[in-house]
Chain A
């Protein structure tokens, strides 16, 4: 058995720490308007940088969630560091739920 602590763990870290902290765009989602993101998926698929992600708020055993039911899935802005502020998501959103500020 090899000792785990003796292993050399690679530490690749391509982020230029000298540049931090950096300011990223703020993307706000109005959750009272954006209720069925998994069904709509317009902003998710139009974003060139794949900034958004969607997830099921409550994963239940033995039950598949209905994407058309309001409030089951939630949209989140994850990779704001990659956002280029092209405003495509804002324009495509049928509910006008997304605002981008810097």
Chain B
């Protein structure tokens, strides 16, 4: 969806124009407008989410209003459209993203900090990456980064990404400010907040640019891919003893592709498939 607006003919997150711009436009916590996702202001973001749950108890109109409010605040603060500030990206394109952006800093994940009170102080534990010059001012907010940022080269970043991919995390990008790609998340349901509210309420994260298509000639029904799918899109067809992928639910994260020992799953461009090109 963002490709039409910011892609200049290619996939928008591979367009180098989306990395250096608009760095200092984010509102700071406690300054100016009330930002729900400022640099470290997790509290107001959590309250917004609790507000949606409270609205579900009141009725459908209240729920729709709370969803709309969430989208509007995201658009105002992050410059997103429809509240979508993140997108799922497969491993191979993540590797191209870390070549484009600089500097790269491994940091602790804010969702795991909020949901499980994990601090992720070492580079080994870190599951989040900050991209671009915005990371250079991290020391202003040590509470967000828990006092540690581990700077890495693009080769080290690729190794880190592959390791997380092996463990089964869904890679996604995060936008901070209009068309500025500022972070790489590695998510799983229900610990990642963005992925959780996307799957539960349809908020926050766009599907990836691809969908997974299985090759039944190569598939031997080992079921490794089924363990890796976070979206409930991939099940085993017990009758045929082959994999079955629901492309309407597929987010195109590519975990099944990278996990398949026989190379039976490939990623196809979503925009080339008529029924799926509007399904984000």
Contact = CB atoms under 8 A, between A and B. Distances in A.
Interface of A: 2, 4, 7-15, 17-18, 20-24, 37-38, 41, 44-45, 49-50, 52-57, 59-65, 67, 74, 76-82
Contacts of B141: 59, 61
Contacts of A12: 198, 202, 280
Interface string B95-122: 0000000000000000001111100000
A21 B140 contact: no
B155 interface: no
Contacts of A74: 43
A76 B46 contact: yes
Contacts of B84: 10
A9 to B, nearest CB: 4
A78 B57 contact: no
B147 A64 contact: yes
B46 A7 contact: no
B116 A45 contact: yes
Given A50-B190, A53-B49, A64-B146, 14 more contacts: A12-B198, A14-B199, A14-B201, A44-B117, A45-B116, A50-B196, A53-B115, A56-B42, A59-B39, A59-B141, A64-B143, A78-B46, A80-B53, A81-B53
Contacts of A50: 115-116, 190-191, 196
B202 to A, nearest CB: 4
Contact size range, B = 35 or more
Interface of B: 1, 4-5, 29, 39-43, 46-47, 49-50, 53, 56-60, 62-64, 67, 81-82, 84, 113-117, 139-144, 146-147, 190-191, 193, 196, 198-202, 206, 278-280
Given A59-B141, A64-B147, A81-B56, A53 B114 contact: yes
Contacts of A14: 199-202
Main secondary structure of the interface of A (DSSP, over half): loop
Given A59-B41, A74-B43, A78-B53, A9 B1 contact: yes
Contacts of A59: 29, 39-42, 141, 143-144
Given A17-B63, A50-B191, A76-B47, A7 B142 contact: no
Nearest to B4: A2
A63 B81 contact: no
Contacts of B81: 4, 7, 9
Nearest to B71: A9
A12 B231 CA distance: 14
9 contacts: A4-B81, A9-B81, A21-B59, A41-B117, A78-B46, A78-B49, A79-B53, A80-B50, A81-B53
Contacts of B82: 9-11
